[in-house]
Amino acid sequence: MFRYIVRRLIFSIPVLLIASILVFIAVRHIADPTAALRNNPRARPEDIARVKRSLGLDQSGYHQYTTWLTHFLKGDWGESLIAQRSVFKDIKDALANSIVLGLTGVGVSLILGVGIGIYSALRQYSWFDNVSTTGAFIGLSLPNFFFALSLQLFFGVYLVRWLHSSNPIFYTSGMSDPNLDHFDLLDHIRHLVLPATVLAVQIIAIYSRLMRSSMLDVMHADYIRTARAKGLTERRVVFRHGVRNALVPLMTQLGIDLGLIAGGLIITETIFEWPGMGKYFIDALGNGDYPQILPWMMIVVGSVVIFNLLVDIAYAVLDPRIRYA
């Protein structure tokens, strides 16, 4: 097992290095860090030249890349061109907010999706299976932006009007009440429910369908019949042999979902004004803020590689045959 993990770690290093080169080249050709200054009539040519020198844009591409990578690994990510704030601090706060929203949505989706998938497979063609299948197709075909706007209208407008209330049950924007000067868990939950629901609906549909299909394949396998022939209880057969092996395909999708959390949930965060990595990226891209975009993209790429590594390790834990392959 240890050799398997070390081997996967070694393979991840060149992947991250190549990804950093591609990210640097892409951002260097797409984002113009001096565009905002050039569009400012009060900016002087010497101001633009000073910004280029401070970002190292007057040097060779190789020198720019090595300098940027060295500073990135040290945690020196510079300052935003527009806000003049530390990029590291802004990304740290945005990443924490995205993790809260993403883990809540994915965690709820994992519990409900796996549970629905298992029960549907064990009760194939029952009324529950038919209802869950229909619900999954609806969830998969429901656009996030449409569902988010519908929830905002219902809870923010119609329900408030029907209940003659001054405040909605669940808030439709932000992550906390700006008038509060302390952390309020209930207020935070009321802001979190709607965006987490929008995130969870499609993921529950995906997980339930994946788990149902995988469980149906596993429960008809030869080793399941052998386990029953040995006299094992049905509960042990289902959970020890069936669910454990059926989770292997689901791990791939889970790794992708967790890896993408670092990139933010752009549609959901933008609609609900959630100050996470998705909204951070949209703002940085709109401003052409070069120092903000580069670390954001590296964090996204790095998180995808890291979570794929964790998925490989989870494969080996769930199915010992994989670690010896």
- Give 46-93 pLDDT, tens digit per residue: 776 777 777 666 677 788 888 888 888 888 887 887 777 888 888 888
SS (H, E, C) 3-67: HHHHHHHHHHHHHHHHHHHHHHHHHHHHCCCCHHHHCCCCCCHHHHHHHHHHHCCCCCHHHHHHH
In a domain, 64, yes or no: no
Q: Which two tokens stand for residue 226?
A: 């052998």
Residue 40 confidence (pLDDT):
67
Instruction: Compute the distance between CA of residue 18 and CA of residue 271 in angstroms, rounded to an integer.
Output: 34
Confidence of residue 125 (pLDDT cuts 50, 70, 90): confident
In a domain, 121, yes or no: yes
Residue 134 confidence (pLDDT):
92
In a domain, 81, yes or no: no
For residue 323, pLDDT beyond 60: no
Q: What is the CATH number of the domain that holds 154?
A: 1.10.3720.10
For residue 238, pLDDT beyond 90: no
In a domain, 27, yes or no: no
- Residue pLDDT, tens place only, 217-235: 888 888 888 888 888 888 8
In a domain, 53, yes or no: no
Residue 196 confidence (pLDDT):
92
Q: State whether residue 211 is helix, strand or coil.
A: helix
Residue type, 284: A
In a domain, 63, yes or no: no
In a domain, 25, yes or no: no
For residue 318, pLDDT beyond 80: no
- Is the pTM higher than 0.85? The answer reads no
Instruction: Please tell me the total count of domains within the chain.
Output: 1
Query: Where is average pLDDT lowest: 8-22, 49-63, 176-190, 264-278?
Result: 49-63
- Which residues, 6 or more positions from 132, have their beta carbon under 8 angstroms from its beta carbon? 116, 119, 120, 208, 212
Between the alpha carbon of residue 272 and those of residues 176, 257, 276, 325, the distances in Å are 12, 20, 10, 46
Domain that holds residue 164: 88-323
In a domain, 1, yes or no: no
